[in-house]
Structure 1
Amino acid sequence: MTISGTTSGTTSVTRTTVRLTDGIDEELRHLIPEGICRTFRVMPYALADGQVLVAAADADDSITAHVVAERIDRPVVLIRHTVNEIVAAIDETYPPVEAEVETPEARRARMQMAQMLTRSGLVTSEQLQRAMLEYSRTGDPLGDILVAHEAMSEDVLVAALSEIFQMQRVGLADFEPDLDVARRLPEPLALRLQAIPVAVTEEAVLVAVARPLADDDAALVEQTLGGPFRQLLANRSDLDQLIQRVHSLHYSEVSTQALMESRPESSAHVVVSPAQKAVLVLAIVAVVICGVVWPINTLIGIVSVCSFIYLVVSIYKFRLTLRALGTHLETDVTDEEIAALDERQLPVYTILVPLYKEAGIVPRLVRDINALDYPQTRLDVKLLCEEDDDETIDKIKSLNLPPHFHLVVVPDSQPKTKPKACNYGLQLATGKYCVIFDAEDRPDPDQLKKALIAFQHVPANVVCVQAKLNHFNQDQNMLTAWFANEYSMHFELVLPAMGAAESPIPLGGTSNHFVTSTLRELGAWDPFNVTEDADLGIRLHREGYRTAMIDSTTLEEANSQVGNWIRQRSRWNKGYIQTWLVHMRNPVHLLAQTGLRGFISFNLTMGSAFVLLMNPVFWFLTTLYILTRWGFIEQLFPGIVFYAASALLFIGNFIFVYLNVAGSLQRGEFGITRTALLSPLYWGLMSWAAWKGFIQLFTNPFYWEKTEHGLDEGSS
């Protein structure tokens, strides 16, 4: 055996008595993953003198030696073999799947790219090694991996591709398009191929492309344009911005009007329908007449109905909590299943992030998204900014983010709401699945992979997977602790129980994962509904689809200031009432679509907003009676009504406290459990916000109460 060199604890040799052609030791056959074997052309095959012999096409390559040594916990010797011998051994160990095996042409282009970048000093050996390892897992283009990890810029990659493919480049940063020319390629095709016509010459149409088009795609473009065309390589981010500018009017119209025009009965653009107005007027007239004729009995009747609604809603939530307490009702995804995922098979995943007046939080947002355990080359991150938010737009531009981050500027129009921005971004989405994250969100790193596996486990009619929400600043003050208790109750107990019962689930505003194509078919979010998430969850259910919960958590920032909290909560309550009004326009149709159990669940869930409106009335009457012993109040609570109201006072408040305690216990947040004992005070704030939202429903129904983020000093 002749030793030719030593690198990183790995020895390379040129001659040995044991050859790869003698066979592969079964113990070593799968010691190195297939992707690394094929990328670096290596194969472990025998043990000799306590060392693992590894066949290598380039036994002197330091990167190959380092990669192999990192994956084998014993001394390693690299043995030089021919490429054909190693490929044959790899194919025997890992039978090749044609679509997953790199073609000779692609390999030559990759090696040419690697040599060009390293010889010119544009990337370091360490950066190239990390990129090669990711390539071995994902099979994504080496250049795109280097750009995604900011080892080099997109402009450098475009220059390298221009050299390799002998294609001319074009700069689009300040380009003003001729719209007639740019729109010669239909928007869906331009978006899918990342290609757009930029000029016309006597010989051909000049088409800017992010990457050289495949032969089939090039033929389709030529057919669509009706003649020859020439490809010009462009920066992906600049090309993306150009496509948005060319088609912004179309995107804006669809994001605002699609649901309103295709399903007007499902849109909240009309707050109260004519039929609902008629019923409401008749009910008011009837109550007034009864009040004149039988004043005391009418008031008793109103108190009785309110008490009954109040009690039923409380018992319903209590029942859901008991069902979920101490159980695991979420769709299970194990660590082993996550580890077993083949990253070459991972689909593109779109992340929609609505931003408004949140420039300061953008760097942390970028950091947290890049921390996700998902190949960055398979991410399609849409940073959705309003046109008048210059500060946030300028901040994003100043960061020079890699091309998997897309700045999306939503034209300034009404309604200026989060769902309209999400609808706008959804039209640009390229992912098979999509998810919404808010600016301050900190999702579990493996959440995207968990959602993908969950979609494989659940029935085909499950098109949404909801992760849990909680707060990272729950210990900041009493308000944040109450907020965290409430979230624990809602996401750890109530929603899992509703999912297990296949009841209509009002989605959370973030971390809900969708099948993109189905979301588009349903008309996406209602831009006029200020709790678009809850509304969408009900619409999904009505169309025969279902939502599943997964055991993955996204941490948000709990509002730590009362005024900020009231703004957010008043919007939620306004939206819940909006949602109830929309879906109760035709109660018979709703009942037919959801069934009796679903119908009752919907009304009791949305009914919580009305219960919050009742609270101050009951509290006022109770306080007034204690202070005055006014006999008139006694008359409102005769016999059974008194006992029902007393039950509300004691049982209802007990249930509310119990739910909050149970939620924090279920999550294991024992440090804030004691704050749940003071939950009735929190309930008072909720009622304040509910009345504000209720009044605003009639004065400014589509106004989006902005919640400020970044108020927690420890959140930056």
Structure 2
Amino acid sequence: MTATVNGARVRLTDGVAPELARLLPEGICRTFRVMPYAVVDGTVLVAVADADDPITLQVVEERIDRPVQLVRHTTNEITDAIETVYPAVEGQIESSEERRGRVQMARMLTNSGLVTNDQLQMAMLEYSRTGDPLGDILVAHEAISEDVLVAALSEMYQMQRVGLSDFVPDMEIARRLPEPLAQSFQAIPVAATDDLVLLAVARPLDPEQAVAVEEALGSPFRQLLANRTELDQLIQRVHSAHYVEVSTVALLEARPEDSAHVVFTGGQKALGVCLLVAVVVCGVVWPMQTLIGVVAACSVLYLLVSFYKFQLTFRALGTHLEIDVTDQEIADLDERTLPVYTILVPLYKEAGVVRRLVQGINDLDYPRTRLDVKLLCEEDDTETIEMIRSLQLPPHFHLVVVPDALPKTKPKACNYGLQIATGDFCVIFDAEDRPDPDQLKKAYLAFQHVAGNVACVQAKLNHFNQDQNLLTAWFANEYSMHFELILPAMGAAGSPIPLGGTSNHFITSVLRELGAWDPFNVTEDADLGIRLHREGYRTAMIDSTTLEEANPNVPNWLRQRSRWIKGYFQTWLVHMRSPGALLRETGPRGFTSFNLTMANAFVLLLNPIFWGLTTLYVLTQWGFIRELFPGFVFYAASAMLFIGNFVFVYLNVAGSLQRGEFGITRTALLSPLYWGLMSWAAWKGAIQLFTNPFYWEKTEHGLDSGAH
């Protein structure tokens, strides 16, 4: 066909002008069957299959900043032009059958008035980027409900529907399809006769899936379309006993030496008793020399920890040690290649933040149709469960109710959710988290840049309410130091990294291979980071930040911090059960780094003792205290007092400067007061290690007035 503009005749078959070849993205060209091909007197000629379609005209005009004229051409002519400009890639081109289904779906929904032109245009544009089913896109953006989509699919495929919201399953029938197939295909038997099984499915099975299902059932079956959310909830109910068992004992049974279910092993108890007896005997025979030796050992440990942190900070200060992903790389990312990404969100007594959480996840720059969001709720948390149900969320949000079983911890809930995760990658976000919108894409691209043994990408953490009071400012100082300096330096050095509690992105298959999180460790993230390293995997840092809520009141802060420190004690005890094996698997540098990192928890226990001795000596000039610090010990202790405190203050100042948080830098000068609170929490955690080692102290969220 030809177009005539001001007397000039221009034909698409003459070819596409080079300067126009990629004026429109490939996805838009293929989805809307359009191709700009010539410019006549400043007007861009665009070949279209339907020149009267207002949506196509709007899409073209919004993306070409010059006058345009739509010119009708045959589908074959346009397709040939598109193939010339964008050579087809196998597996990424819509088949004629798929296109017919998409067009039929669009017409069915618009003709019935169920979607507007604006909603259809939004869905078509997202389809042009991702290639995901049009109906799923409309449901994910809440333009239509899942029930409406199921009704449309039922009409298109001439399949019956089944409602599952009040369905009571026959467990024997429901479990005829093995759990892995039920999860993978989103299908479950709901009824059976001697020669036929009725199978509820979220979407019609393809031929290969149908063969696998029939082999597993040992019987012919008929498919019934079901609401995805209702089907998901039914599969969870049917297999919950299996999920809870695996989430609790999988690591314990597979790798008992890696589980903190036993706080102190028999060997550790024996060694501890022997050391205690030796110290007591020496104390009786050589009382002063023994006390001096203990003080000297503590002082040396204190100095080593301080120097190690200083060395890490010095290496990271003013440098960029994170894996860098540029804005251009993100812009150039072909969304058709993006994998499904699982987001695990542990929730407990947090109904008040659910709405903001959902909004935050929907604001992520990632196709909603490729998100698998698991909202993990404990069975007894009825308020949060009912809040989630009341929102009637689209099916990329999955309510996961974790049965009430001990230990009731975050890692157990995450293990439960991991079993039903469908993503190639997964990440943990806490209820109040506010990740950078492009964090999932950055993490995905980072995995493409790093070595093959990197199984985890850790984002930085900081706080959105750092200006609320002095405590939140200290918390932000500490996080800036830890995530801007310490962890990047550890990652660059290849040292074992104790992960942060959130925004750590994993390759799902590797996480499952390692047994995931230890449900008996109350700082499960730090433990998992060490286990990853021992198995030969590595963690990399990315330059993306998740903002959390800093605890603004002391009691709540103490509950959280004492749990973290108790978990550090647990982690050290677990991995030092066999020091020789740890040394072999991590090497001398990794072994030293692990012990000095974990030793920070022990240093916090020492602070009040040394502060008390110093204060008592200043007030009383007691000679006994002077005798505890002869010669070398005095210099070591003095260095500990001045260098240790200087390093702590310096690290907090440096971390805030590195992040560019100049407004709270001055609060870092008062960090020794914050260290006092940390020592309080350390003693609380140490006592709980003996009295209640697996107790998970709940941290309340939403205490900041701006948290909602």
What code does the residue aligned with 2:528 have?
Answer: L
Whether the 8 Å contact between 1:571 and 1:693 is mirrored in structure 2 is: yes
Match of 1:183 among 175, 192, 212: 175
Whether the 8 Å contact between 1:352 and 1:384 is mirrored in structure 2 is: yes
Equivalent-residue separation in structure 1 for 2:239 and 2:214 (angstroms): 21
Q: Give unmatched runs, 5+ long, in structure 1.
A: 4-11
Whether the 8 Å contact between 1:570 and 1:689 is mirrored in structure 2 is: yes
For 1:199, what is the secondary structure of its paired residue? strand
Q: Deviations over 1:603-636 (max 9, x none)?
A: 0000000000000000110011111111000110
Whether the 8 Å contact between 2:468 and 2:552 is mirrored in structure 1 is: yes
Whether the 8 Å contact between 1:505 and 1:537 is mirrored in structure 2 is: yes
Match of 2:431 among 439, 447, 458: 439
Whether the 8 Å contact between 1:13 and 1:59 is mirrored in structure 2 is: no
- State the shift of 1:91 in Å: 0.6
Equivalent-residue separation in structure 1 for 2:442 and 2:678 (angstroms): 34
Q: How does 1:166-565 map to 2 (within 5 A)?
A: 166-565=158-557
Q: How does 1:640-659 map to 2 (within 5 A)?
A: 640-659=632-651
Equivalent-residue separation in structure 1 for 2:227 and 2:707 (angstroms): 34
- State the shift of 1:649 in Å: 1.0
Equivalent-residue separation in structure 2 for 1:695 and 1:189 (angstroms): 46
Whether the 8 Å contact between 1:330 and 1:496 is mirrored in structure 2 is: yes
Q: Deviations over 1:62-111 (max 9, x none)?
A: 00000011110000000000000000000111011121111111111110
Whether the 8 Å contact between 1:380 and 1:404 is mirrored in structure 2 is: yes
TM-score by length of 1: 0.98
Q: How does 1:665-676 map to 2 (within 5 A)?
A: 665-676=657-668
- State the shift of 1:418 in Å: 0.2
Counterpart position of 2:25? 33
Whether the 8 Å contact between 1:470 and 1:484 is mirrored in structure 2 is: yes
Counterpart position of 1:678? 670
Whether the 8 Å contact between 2:464 and 2:549 is mirrored in structure 1 is: yes
Counterpart position of 1:115? 107
Q: Deviations over 1:648-683 (max 9, x none)?
A: 111111100000000000000000000000000000
1:165 aligns to 2:160 (yes or no): no
For 1:435, what is the secondary structure of its paired residue? strand
What code does the residue aligned with 1:533 have?
Answer: D
What code does the residue aligned with 1:70 have?
Answer: E
Q: Deviations over 1:200-250 (max 9, x none)?
A: 135410000000111111111112111210000000000000000000000
What code does the residue aligned with 1:245 have?
Answer: R
Equivalent-residue separation in structure 1 for 2:173 and 2:7 (angstroms): 64
Q: Deviations over 1:23-64 (max 9, x none)?
A: 110000000000000000000000011100000000100000
Q: How does 1:48-87 map to 2 (within 5 A)?
A: 48-87=40-79
Whether the 8 Å contact between 2:248 and 2:412 is mirrored in structure 1 is: yes
Whether the 8 Å contact between 2:2 and 2:12 is mirrored in structure 1 is: no
Equivalent-residue separation in structure 2 for 1:709 and 1:243 (angstroms): 31
Equivalent-residue separation in structure 1 for 2:653 and 2:5 (angstroms): 66
Q: Which moved more, 1:89-98 or 1:461-470?
A: 89-98
Counterpart position of 1:6? none
What code does the residue aligned with 1:513 have?
Answer: H
- State the shift of 1:530 in Å: 0.3
Equivalent-residue separation in structure 2 for 1:294 and 1:282 (angstroms): 17
Counterpart position of 2:652? 660
What code does the residue aligned with 1:196 have?
Answer: I
1:125 aligns to 2:117 (yes or no): yes
Equivalent-residue separation in structure 2 for 1:712 and 1:16 (angstroms): 67
Whether the 8 Å contact between 1:252 and 1:411 is mirrored in structure 2 is: yes
Whether the 8 Å contact between 2:5 and 2:40 is mirrored in structure 1 is: no
1:583 aligns to 2:581 (yes or no): no
1:594 aligns to 2:586 (yes or no): yes
Equivalent-residue separation in structure 2 for 1:665 and 1:156 (angstroms): 53
Match of 2:693 among 697, 701, 710: 701
Whether the 8 Å contact between 2:30 and 2:82 is mirrored in structure 1 is: yes
What code does the residue aligned with 2:440 have?
Answer: L
Give the direction of change, closer, same or farther, for the CA distance of 1:625–1:363 in structure 2 (3 Å limit). Answer: same
Whether the 8 Å contact between 2:325 and 2:445 is mirrored in structure 1 is: yes
Give the direction of change, closer, same or farther, for the CA distance of 1:116–1:14 in structure 2 (3 Å limit). Answer: farther
Counterpart position of 1:142? 134
Whether the 8 Å contact between 1:2 and 1:14 is mirrored in structure 2 is: no
What code does the residue aligned with 2:73 have?
Answer: H
What code does the residue aligned with 1:23 have?
Answer: G
Equivalent-residue separation in structure 2 for 1:336 and 1:201 (angstroms): 58
What code does the residue aligned with 1:397 have?
Answer: R
Counterpart position of 2:13? 21
What code does the residue aligned with 2:168 have?
Answer: E
Q: Deviations over 1:452-485 (max 9, x none)?
A: 1100100000000000000000000000000000
Post-superposition, which runs of at least 4 consecutive aligned residues in structure 1 deviate over 6 A?
12-16
Whether the 8 Å contact between 2:8 and 2:40 is mirrored in structure 1 is: no
Equivalent-residue separation in structure 2 for 1:344 and 1:13 (angstroms): 37
What code does the residue aligned with 2:452 have?
Answer: A
Q: How does 1:609-624 map to 2 (within 5 A)?
A: 609-624=601-616
Whether the 8 Å contact between 2:195 and 2:219 is mirrored in structure 1 is: no
- State the shift of 1:14 in Å: 14
Equivalent-residue separation in structure 2 for 1:294 and 1:43 (angstroms): 92
For 1:713, what is the secondary structure of its paired residue? coil
Give the direction of change, closer, same or farther, for the CA distance of 1:595–1:112 in structure 2 (3 Å limit). Answer: same
What code does the residue aligned with 1:555 have?
Answer: L
Equivalent-residue separation in structure 2 for 1:94 and 1:223 (angstroms): 41
TM-score by length of 2: 0.99
Equivalent-residue separation in structure 2 for 1:253 and 1:506 (angstroms): 27
Equivalent-residue separation in structure 1 for 2:543 and 2:537 (angstroms): 20
Give the direction of change, closer, same or farther, for the CA distance of 1:358–1:245 in structure 2 (3 Å limit). Answer: same
